[in-house]
Each structure stands twice: as C-alpha cells, then as structure tokens.
Chain A
C-alpha cells in the first residue's frame, strides 16, 4: 500500500484524542478489583528491582563508586521515568497485532497521525503503580541525601523524571518499530524496553566499557538517571566525562524523539499490508 499524503491535524482532529483516551480509562476502571490487583502487581514488580539493589548492598558498601543512597536515587529517577514512559506508550507493543490483522490499514486511512492513533488507542493506567513506587523512592532518597539545594538542582530534580520518560518512551517506540520488518520481533524489542529499565537503575560505572557505550550512549540510557543524579549530587563523574553532560538530557531527549520520528516514518513507508 502506498503511503497516503500526511494530513496535518487540525484543532478539530486533535480534540479527538482526549475523548478516545477518556473512554479507555473508563473501561479500565470498570472492574475495580481486577484493576487494583494489576496496580499492586506493578508496585511489586518495580519494588523487586529495588530489593535487588538492597541485597547487593548487604554485601558491599559501594557499587561503582556510589553509596547505597546514591544508587537508590538513580533507581528512583529511573523507575519514575520508566513508569511514566510505559504508561504513555505501552500501546506500541500492540503494533505487531495491528500489522498482522490489517488494522494498521484502517489507521492509514484516517486523517490522523498513525503514531498518535496507536499510542492513544489505550493508556496503561495500571502502570501508575510503577510511577508511584518510583516517586516514593525518589522522595525518600532526595530527603535522606541532604543535598545542597540550588535553583538549578531543584529544576533538575523536577524535570529529570519527565525528560527521562521522554527519552525512554522514544526509545520504546523506536525499538518496537522493528515489527514493521520482523513479525516476531516483539521480544527482542522488549529486551530494549525492560533492559533499559534495569540498566538505568544502576550507575553506568558498573558496566564494562563496551556495554556502557551500547546501553548508555547508543541507547541513551545514561541520560535518564545517571547524569541527572550527578547533577543533583554535585559530585565529579568517576569516569571523568565532561560536566556539561549532566545538564544535557533535555537536548538528548529532543534528539531521540527526532530520530524516532524518522525511524517510524521509515517503518510506515516499508509497511505493505498483510493481504490482497
């Protein structure tokens, strides 16, 4: 199927998305018991990662040159960003289904952006359990660390989870775009999604040089928690990387989004539909 000319969303079209979303949210809350259990499972799933960090710190005083509270701060930043990201773009995991069943054809026919349609098709409200866990841990570590608060640091603390969420969300979309080329690429894409959740929770100093380059700079995981944490802690980078990097996450987020848009467009161009 040839790509249709892109139709710019008019204000009238844009008002469609909130209405679609509101209907989805109502349907998720229709079974409060099941929803509550789902949220609890999310809280446990996220807290288990923290438990892993705490078990490691029963054996050592520092990890990669950082104390337990400092690593917990990174975990709090990473968990909040991951929760927000997966809350907003989890729908992208349905892409293989849309491609296989031909529903993606329907999306191409509507005068709305395909990506926006796909992402607003639902909102994984249960993921608020992860956001809540992340925020609670972040709050605890920020108060425990007795930071030297400056306006810049306050700004970093307030924006880092949001900027991190944008980076991760763009990364998940980019990874799942693989489904336009591979029918069963879902689990490989998952390793980027959940792998980055794990990887960003630890200081990048624990990884070997080439793993660090891949997981932290090619996939920009280091800008989700590690560099913001350095800015908040006001300590030099053990790796000797330039200080400017710790204030660069917003720029990296913009770049990641731009790249993801290009990858998505390439995927849509490659898409040929499933049948005659």
Chain B
C-alpha cells in the first residue's frame, strides 16, 4: 500500500517543474521583498547594534532564508481541495485506494522539493551575493535543516488541509484561507523575528503551530536555540495537525452530499 505515495511525490515535483516562468516571477517578488524587509531590519540594527541576539549577519540571513522559504512552505494559493469539495469532484479522490490526506501530503512534499531549487536557492544566492550572510558553523546544522524544512512544509500542509476541509461544512473556504494568508506570515516569524515581539505575544505564540512554519527552521539554520527541541516541537505539531485532519476528513466525508443523477 505504500506504493502510490513515492510516485505522488515525484508527480508533485514534475507538475511544478513545467512552470519555470511562474517560478521566476515568484522569485522576483521574493527578492524585492527581501530587499525592503532587509532595509528595515538593517535600519533598526544601525541604531541598536543588536536586538534580541540579532546582529546584521543574523538579520540578513533571517530575511533571505525567510524569503526563500515562502515558496517552499507555501502560504497562499492552495485551494484545490476546497474547490473539489465545492464541485463534488472530491468524491473521485475519496474513492481511490489511498488515504486522501496522505496522498495530498505526498504531492505537496514533491512540490516543496521542486520549490527548494526553484524558490529557495535563488533568493538565498542573491542574498549571499550582496549581503554578509551567517552560514552554519556546525556541519550537523545542514542535516538538521534538511529535517526542519520538510517538517515546516508538513505543518503548513496540515493547516492548509484543515482550512480547505472546512468547505465540507461551509462550502466556501475562501474567507478562512484569506485570513490564514494574511496572518500566517506575521504569526510564523516571516515578517519580523518573533523574538522582537513583546513577551506576552511570544508567550501566546509558543502555544501555536505558527512558529514551526518559519521561525523554527530559520533558528535551526542560524543556530539559535536547541535545534533538537525545535525539531521535536515541529514533529509534535505535524503529528497533532495531521491527526486532526484525519478526524475532520472522516467527519466531512460522512456529511458530503453530491448532487446529480
């Protein structure tokens, strides 16, 4: 039964490999925002020298890795499941001999794999060319980041899956997805480092899966905090959210009514 999933990973990779022009456009947007966000952080650090452990090198690494991760972790534009629920096409997906959530996760990991080359490396290369990035000091960090990024993708996927699955009840998941798209960046540590936030905000966010999306993988790469703790937290959130997705999928499937003869 394991057979279809590796195939789906490959299919997800190939599906996105054919849209290189779109990748180029996305990278352009990431680079523009990298320059702007980087300028703000550098302006702050020009006055303070270091804020919450961020000096200029860590800050620009934070910015460029974050900009690269946007396309990999994926916050915006994943509406496929909710649209298939609305049109009823989801019945076809549900009747295939696979677990729908696992199949979609496999496809999404394949997509993310392609995005590492197409969306993560170009902004990082741009950043490395024009800014003094801070590279990992310990070789093991490269192995740890190779675990933290797929886990960030899995957490992001499982949240997107839950939001899309709300269409089983609401028929239209657009509002929920729009709110997620608007807030996930700022809650996940993409817009500004979470350690710059007031302590009450940090305390609240520590109980949410959002830091697992951007802040944790970036912290692993910049060697801030204990990488094993961060990855364990990511693992726990991924497991919890995937399990919640299974429950919601089972409930939603029972509710599903398809019109037609």
Chain A residues engaging chain B, CB cutoff 8 angstroms? 34, 37-38, 40-41, 44-45, 48, 51-52, 55-56, 58-60, 62-64, 182-192, 194-195, 198-199, 202, 206-208, 211, 215
Chain B neighbourhood of A202, CB < 8 A:
40
Could you tell me if B21 and A184 are in contact, using CB atoms closer than 8 angstroms? yes
CA gap between A45 and B179 in the complex, in Å: 8
Could you tell me if A41 and B182 are in contact, using CB atoms closer than 8 angstroms? yes
Contact of B21 among A37, A44, A182, A198 (CB under 8 A): A182
Could you tell me if A34 and B174 are in contact, using CB atoms closer than 8 angstroms? yes
Closest 6 CB pairs of A and B: A37-B175, A187-B25, A184-B21, A41-B178, A191-B29, A45-B182
Does B192 reach chain A (CB closer than 8 Å)?
Answer: yes
Does B206 reach chain A (CB closer than 8 Å)?
Answer: no
Could you tell me if A64 and B178 are in contact, using CB atoms closer than 8 angstroms? no
Q: Give A55's nearest chain B residue, CB to CB.
A: B192
29 pairs from A and B in contact (CB 8 Å cutoff): A34-B172, A34-B175, A37-B174, A38-B174, A38-B175, A40-B175, A40-B179, A41-B178, A41-B179, A48-B185, A48-B186, A48-B191, A52-B186, A55-B196, A59-B52, A60-B48, A63-B40, A183-B21, A184-B21, A184-B22, A184-B25, A188-B24, A188-B29, A189-B25, A190-B29, A192-B32, A198-B37, A206-B40, A206-B43
A166 to chain B, nearest CB (A): 22
8 new A-B pairs (CB below 8 Å) besides A34-B175, A48-B191, A202-B40? Answer: A41-B178, A55-B196, A58-B198, A60-B48, A64-B43, A184-B22, A195-B33, A207-B36
Could you tell me if B44 and A187 are in contact, using CB atoms closer than 8 angstroms? no
CA gap between A44 and B21 in the complex, in Å: 31
Interface size on B, residues (CB 8 A): 38
Does B259 reach chain A (CB closer than 8 Å)?
Answer: no
Could you tell me if A187 and B182 are in contact, using CB atoms closer than 8 angstroms? no
B185 to chain A, nearest CB (A): 8
Chain B neighbourhood of A63, CB < 8 A:
40, 43-44
Chain A neighbourhood of B95, CB < 8 A:
none
A7 to chain B, nearest CB (A): 34
Does B183 reach chain A (CB closer than 8 Å)?
Answer: yes
Contact of A59 among B25, B51, B179 (CB under 8 A): B51
Could you tell me if A198 and B36 are in contact, using CB atoms closer than 8 angstroms? yes
Could you tell me if B28 and A187 are in contact, using CB atoms closer than 8 angstroms? yes
Could you tell me if B44 and A59 are in contact, using CB atoms closer than 8 angstroms? yes
Contact of A187 among B22, B181, B186 (CB under 8 A): B22
Does B126 reach chain A (CB closer than 8 Å)?
Answer: no
CA gap between A188 and B27 in the complex, in Å: 8
Contact of B29 among A59, A195, A208 (CB under 8 A): A195
Chain A neighbourhood of B228, CB < 8 A:
none
CA gap between A40 and B174 in the complex, in Å: 12
Does B243 reach chain A (CB closer than 8 Å)?
Answer: no
Could you tell me if B183 and A48 are in contact, using CB atoms closer than 8 angstroms? yes
Does B102 reach chain A (CB closer than 8 Å)?
Answer: no
Contact of B182 among A44, A186, A191 (CB under 8 A): A44
Chain B neighbourhood of A189, CB < 8 A:
25
CA gap between A215 and B52 in the complex, in Å: 29
